Amino acid sequence: MRKFTYNFRSIMVNHVERVVPGTVFSKMVMEMDDTAVEKHTLELTLKDILKDPAWITQFILSFMIVTAASGVLLAGVYVGFGRTMEQSSWLITVITFAVLDIIIVIALWIYLAFKVLMNQIGTISTDF
């Protein structure tokens, strides 16, 4: 099975409490430790990518987006043509909308899921 390899670096971040000069107050400050830079390698297989729960979330989101847009368009078609169309023509129109909805949901689902997965993985490998 093909493996996807991603190389990246990380830096240690410490949360330090510092006193604000001239006051009795303190604040939390983030400090980066330049000596603690580490290289990491992430290896993923296609199975790892498909097991990510982002697929379910993005399917629901894609379904809601396409259903809302399709409902508005179908209502526009009904208001514009539907009242005067024959039953067989109206049935063809509804079936066409349903097939197009399924195709668009699948395409949008795959696009959004891959986009989220790649953002989670961090596909951009930068060498510092």
Domains in the chain: boundaries: 1-48, 52-128
- Whether the pLDDT of residue 29 is over 80: the answer is yes
Average pLDDT over residues 69-86: 83
pLDDT value for 6: 79
Quick one: residue 22, left, alpha or beta (phi over 0 = left, psi -120 to 50 = alpha)?
left
Q: Is it the case that residue 124 has pLDDT exceeding 60?
A: no
Distance CA 32, CA 43 (A): 27
- Is the pLDDT reported for residue 85 higher than 80? no
pTM as predicted: 0.55
* Residues 93-103 pLDDT 10s: 889 989 999 99
Alpha helices in the chain (DSSP H): 46-50, 54-77, 87-121
| The pair of three-digit structure tokens given for residue 37, joined into one six-digit string | 């830079």
